Structure 1
Amino acid sequence: MTDTNDTRHYAPTRRDYVKYGGALATGGLLAGCADDDATTAGETTAEPTDGTDTTTAADSSYSVTMAPVGEVEFDAVPERVLPYYPISAGATIALGHGDAITGIGYDKQLFGNTVDYYYDALDGVSFEWEELGRVTPSGEPGTLDTELFYELDNDVHFLDPCLLRSSSFGWSEADIEAIATDVGPWFGNYYSRTNASPPACEGDYEYYGLWEYIGKLAEVLRERERYEALKSVRDDLAATIEDRLPPAEERPSLAIVAYSGGTFWPYDFTQDGYLWNHVRPFGATNAFTTTEGGPGSDGAYDYEGMVEAEPDVVLRYWGTALGDTFIEGREAVLNDPLAEEVPAFRDGRYYPSGHGMQGPVMNLFQLEMTAKQLYPDQFGAWPGYGDGKRYPSVPEDERLFDRERVTNVITGDFE
């Protein structure tokens, strides 16, 4: 269980450390975790709690608790933030703190294009990512630029220390503690994406639903009201989807794939975790369930495998960020001699899909997008990929959520 007595006072950041020349002490960074009973909690109903908020008129400090980092105390709302993944970047922007972002992770262009694709569809909201730092060096996805963490001097790092300790990055506990002590704390829960067991952390690990996790980030940024306003939009959208879904026997079989050069790599979108929050509500059957290779992403399929799977709809995972690459790939897929034997390709139902590391705005658009791609008769037809740079224009009477309402929340007009 998470040790709620393990409170860390992280906001003297490195700036104060340098100013006062003192050593900032922290305990063991990775607090314990919670029971397995929590693995599916909060997918649609969770809200940020007050945690152990200690704010008073004379003391602006507050604390937020989340596995695996335990209880983290802040002396003030973070003014410099490293989100790393689109989920935390999107949440930071949507919660009104986009100007606090100093850097992002992995492929900078794909990252920026992923978030831009949705935010550019909202008037008056943007994500200026081009000049941000990138803590994953280009061409070296398994490394992090340690010095850049010091140069960016963030008040909080939205990254999971269990991920840092895994073979993906190979950091030691000492490496992690040094950044937390000298710069700012870690605050992330990476493995809730698929509810997988962290390979580098001992004991159990608590999992959060997508909006529960976003709520934790909202607590850090002291944006409970904004969070609740955004979540109300999501709850309304979820209710609309539930009300209009056709009976189970009328739902299509679906394949979600990565694709390159005639090879399709499947994803199991029926697994637990927030990665498939934008697909799970639609109750579609995984087309690969009955094939020899199975539904997971460990295998690969050629066109003969796709003929065997017979998907009614095929979605290209992360296709929304690929622009011309997706457009050209789609043309090649649909023009293959075997395309006529695959129902989805024969009917032209091969669409770009989103990315599972989704912040609140991405989630709203991706739910709407998936609804239209899978059920055009119930939700209106998907208008097409357009220029591949932004979410396509949807007629106002066919939109499944209110864009202006979302924009107003982000810009602060939500009372």
Structure 2
Amino acid sequence: MANDETEHGEPTRRDCVKYGGAVVGGGLLAGCSSQPGSGSTPTRTDAAGASTATETDTEPVSSEDGSYSVTMSPVGEVEFDQVPTSLLTYYPISAGTAVALGHGDSITAIGYDKELFGNTVDYYYDSLDGVAFQWEDLGRVTRSGSPGSLDRELFYELDSDVHFLDPALLRSSSFGWSQREVESIASDVGPWFGNYYSRTNGQPPEAYREQYEYYSLWEYIGNIAAVLREEERYRALKGLRDNVVDRIRADLPPESERPSLAVVAYTGGTFWPYDFTQDGYLWEHVRPFGVKNALSETAGGPGDDGSYDYEGLIEAQPDVVVRYWGTALGESFIENRSTVLNDPLAEEVPAFRNGRYHASGHGMQGPVMNLFQLEMTAKQLFPERFGEWPGFGAGESYPDIPAEEQLFDREAVADIITGDG
């Protein structure tokens, strides 16, 4: 831990929240020992030797004085004297979870371009009566003109009770913070609470690597719910999600009859692929469908950067192509879709020939995004089983779906969020 005296002159850490985790690895806030009743999530080892999380719900551990603690890798056990009332939510996963659990008014800031962030979440929230994500006036902790750089001083100005951001990510080459910088904000302002590397089960910086644990999307959401003491709302939302997944799996055709899928980003005739079959919560809106990655066995082109041109897609023959994060692009996706489908070579790609090039969502998804993105993906991949996908429309909000073709009840979701459920 950092000394109580820091360069900012704050004498002690915030009273309302504090770390109770172990101090290991030369002062790193790892605290990953899994003790019974600690609220930690146990892990298992899969056939490839990778550590993966088990499907358990996290419950906070309460004390007689009303304080409680929540344990999550890599931050360890974090103790709270009261429910945090100001939250820094860097990614849509934590921001969307806070809103879905009724704590949207507590958000102080987000991580990056606010319009893109707003488009990402508004696309879905516009479909829920009485629910809104008020992102316009939020702070932004990335420096203007330098989205890969965090404004450390702003963390002090925002004075948030908890920062839903992984300290391991801050220590990585992405941001390059020192351990002293990480610890000073944790002690002077509020603790870190995040697990970035579960997005793809990727490797964290070496100092965190040995005891880093990975979580599924809803395990991660459950940990945030434990911090906010919103376990009942969490269970209600997770119950809706489990019903959607059960319905999807019950109605899937045999694997041999499922379409092949390519998930891409697109710019100027070049397609960059995503491997949606890899581990991690980034693909939990695609994983339940068990479809083949059309690009897994086809060399890319035109260059050596892993990208594909039309010839590469012609060789791969994907049945469906979706544009990752296309739902946030608005009119620009509509324009680039027209460009893609009107290319002279498009007729030789099954997905383009049949008009099955769609805007897809974002993997850093909170509960609401996950529900809508599961339904959206179901319709894009299996319209004959789950109803036709209406398309991107005006690109401003999720399209209207007939009630009989909805995979979940919008009113039920809104009631859970607003407290009427």
The alignment's TM-score, normalised by the length of structure 1, stands at 0.90
Q: Secondary structure in 2 aligned to 1:306? A: helix
Counterpart of 1:168? 174
Q: Secondary structure in 1 aligned to 2:77? A: strand
Determine if contact 2:120/2:328 at 8 Å carries over to the other structure: yes
2:56 pairs with one of 43, 46, 53: 46
Opposite residue 265 of structure 1, the aligned amino acid is W
1:270 pairs with one of 263, 277, 281: 277
2-structure distance, mates of 1:115, 1:140: 22
Q: CA deviation at 1:33?
A: 6.5
Determine if contact 2:121/2:369 at 8 Å carries over to the other structure: yes
Counterpart of 1:363? 370
1:65 pairs with one of 62, 68, 71: 71
2-structure distance, mates of 1:216, 1:25: 16
Q: CA deviation at 1:204?
A: 3.1
1-structure distance, mates of 2:74, 2:243: 31
Provide, for residues 351-406 of structure 1, a one-character-per-residue CA deviation record: whole Å limited to 9, x for no partner.
00000000000000000000000000000000111211111110111000010000
Q: Does structure 1 residue 289 correspond to structure 2 residue 296?
A: yes
2-structure distance, mates of 1:246, 1:19: 54
Q: CA deviation at 1:305?
A: 0.7
Q: CA deviation at 1:41?
A: 2.8
1-structure distance, mates of 2:164, 2:124: 21
Q: Secondary structure in 2 aligned to 1:40? A: strand
2-structure distance, mates of 1:92, 1:16: 30
The 1:302/1:24 distance shift into structure 2, 3 A limit, reads closer
Determine if contact 1:317/1:352 at 8 Å carries over to the other structure: yes
Opposite residue 302 of structure 1, the aligned amino acid is D
Determine if contact 2:169/2:196 at 8 Å carries over to the other structure: yes
Opposite residue 188 of structure 2, the aligned amino acid is D
Residue identity (%): 67
Opposite residue 39 of structure 1, the aligned amino acid is S
Q: Secondary structure in 1 aligned to 2:53? A: coil
Question: How do 1:249-398 and structure 2 match up within 5 A?
Answer: 249-293=256-300, 299-398=306-405
> Where does structure 1 lack aligned partners over 5 or more consecutive residues?
1-5, 7-13
Determine if contact 2:19/2:78 at 8 Å carries over to the other structure: no
> Where does structure 2 lack aligned partners over 5 or more consecutive residues?
2-8, 35-42
Q: Secondary structure in 1 aligned to 2:176? A: coil
Counterpart of 1:233? 240
Provide, for residues 67-114 of structure 1, a one-character-per-residue CA deviation record: whole Å limited to 9, x for no partner.
000000011100000010000000000011000001000222111110
Q: CA deviation at 1:413?
A: 1.9
Determine if contact 2:129/2:414 at 8 Å carries over to the other structure: yes
Q: CA deviation at 1:273?
A: 0.4
Q: CA deviation at 1:326?
A: 0.3
1:193 pairs with one of 184, 189, 199: 199
Q: Does structure 1 residue 150 correspond to structure 2 residue 160?
A: no
Q: CA deviation at 1:40?
A: 3.2
Counterpart of 2:146? 140
Q: Secondary structure in 2 aligned to 1:122? A: coil
The 1:380/1:151 distance shift into structure 2, 3 A limit, reads same
Q: CA deviation at 1:15?
A: 9.4
Determine if contact 2:260/2:293 at 8 Å carries over to the other structure: yes
Q: Does structure 1 residue 30 correspond to structure 2 residue 10?
A: no
1-structure distance, mates of 2:33, 2:307: 35
Counterpart of 2:113? 107
The 1:173/1:147 distance shift into structure 2, 3 A limit, reads same
1-structure distance, mates of 2:205, 2:10: 33
Provide, for residues 308-336 of structure 1, a one-character-per-residue CA deviation record: whole Å limited to 9, x for no partner.
11100000000000001100000000000
The 1:111/1:16 distance shift into structure 2, 3 A limit, reads farther
1-structure distance, mates of 2:108, 2:315: 47
Q: How many residues align?
A: 393
The 1:319/1:305 distance shift into structure 2, 3 A limit, reads same
Q: CA deviation at 1:139?
A: 2.1
Q: CA deviation at 1:135?
A: 0.1
Q: Secondary structure in 1 aligned to 2:147? A: coil
Q: Secondary structure in 1 aligned to 2:416? A: helix
2-structure distance, mates of 1:398, 1:143: 44
TM-align CA RMSD: 2.4
The 1:347/1:69 distance shift into structure 2, 3 A limit, reads same
2:413 pairs with one of 397, 402, 406: 406
Q: CA deviation at 1:32?
A: 3.6
The 1:320/1:25 distance shift into structure 2, 3 A limit, reads closer
Q: Secondary structure in 1 aligned to 2:94? A: helix
Moved over 6 A (4+): 23-26
2-structure distance, mates of 1:39, 1:399: 35
Opposite residue 143 of structure 2, the aligned amino acid is P
Determine if contact 1:234/1:364 at 8 Å carries over to the other structure: yes
The alignment's TM-score, normalised by the length of structure 2, stands at 0.89
Determine if contact 1:33/1:68 at 8 Å carries over to the other structure: no
Provide, for residues 194-253 of structure 1, a one-character-per-residue CA deviation record: whole Å limited to 9, x for no partner.
001102424131000000010000000000000000000001101110111111111001
